Amino acid sequence: MPINRVVINSSPLIVLLKSQQSQLISQLFTEILVPSGVFEEVTTKDDVASTQLPTIDWIQTVEVNTIAPEVATWDLGKGESQVLSLALGDPDFAAIVDDRAARRCGQALGISIIGTGGLLILAKRRGIIPSISPGIQALRDAGLWLSDSLVNLLKEQAGES
């Protein structure tokens, strides 16, 4: 079953905005939730992401008042906890997170997890972009640290190795 609904964390959102690839999110998914804590985290900084996010009409900002107890035990950041709690509460949603601990938590709880690099693979598979290599370089240029081994793995998964 294809993933069409997502909850996105701040770091993927910031790096996609900074790398001018945020349109991929709206092209890939029909419903994009941004928890209130994530929105606050992105918009309190003074950068391109903080000025762009409030103008985007394809996101839905959602107030999150309760963190799921099974997520709270992982002692993650506010944004990650809100993202995973929302996704845990509705299995139709995948969580877009890059933080290693948050990814482990989500996987342990049976939540569908996608990383920023995975978005590029999905975009290629759906015919939105012809290659992930330029997107990976743009993410790196925007400040996302990706190891060479991870880049090679992403390229391999995209059929570009």
pLDDT tens track for 25-38: 999 999 999 999 99
pLDDT tens track for 66-120: 999 999 999 999 999 999 999 999 989 999 999 999 999 999 999 999 999 999 9
CB-based contact 57:64 (threshold 8 Å):
no
The residue ranges of every structural domain in the chain are 5-157
Alpha-carbon separation of residue 20 from 80, 141, 148 (angstroms): 23, 11, 22
- Backbone φ, ψ for residue 4 (5° rounding): -120, -10
- Backbone φ, ψ for residue 96 (5° rounding): -100, 105
Is 70 exceeded by the pLDDT of residue 1?
no
CATH of domain 5-157: 3.40.50.1010
Longest dimension (CA), the chain: 44
* SS3 call for 155: helix
